[in-house]
């Protein structure tokens, strides 16, 4: 939708690179230094594939989406 396109444009204008592709594909992470994961609660386990692929591609920092979630609940 138009609102999402506008927000994406604002982010890219700030220098944010938004990646599209499969979590498990290391090619997606080539040339990337930092990954900030923003998956929802339902995607936490899928995030492991992303971490492995990012590590394989040489990503130096991976910030998981759980940084703001109380996982004990």
User: pTM (2 decimals)?
Assistant: 0.70
Residue whose structure tokens are 């990012």: 54
pLDDT of residue 16: 87
Query: According to the model, what pLDDT value does residue 52 have?
Result: 95
| CA gap 9, 3 in Å, rounded | 10
Kindly list the distances between the CA atom of residue 29 and the CA atoms of 19, 20, 33, 48, 58, in Å, as whole numbers in the listed order. Answer: 8, 10, 8, 14, 8
Contacts of 68 (CB under 8 A, 6+ apart): none
Interatomic CA distance for residues 56 and 33, integer angstroms: 12
Q: Measure the CA–CA gap between 34 and 50, rounded to whole angstroms.
A: 12
User: Per-residue confidence of the chain (73 residues) as pLDDT tens digits?
Assistant: 899 899 999 999 999 888 778 889 999 999 999 998 888 777 778 888 999 999 999 999 999 887 666 666 6
């Amino acid at each position: 939708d138009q609102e999402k396109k506008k927000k994406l444009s604002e982010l890219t204008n700030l220098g944010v690179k938004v990646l599209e592709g499969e979590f498990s594909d290391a090619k997606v992470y080539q040339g990337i230094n930092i990954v900030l994961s923003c998956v929802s609660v339902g995607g936490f386990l899928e995030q492991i594939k992303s971490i492995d692929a990012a590590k394989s591609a040489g990503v130096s920092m991976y910030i998981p989406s759980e940084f703001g979630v109380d996982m004990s609940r």
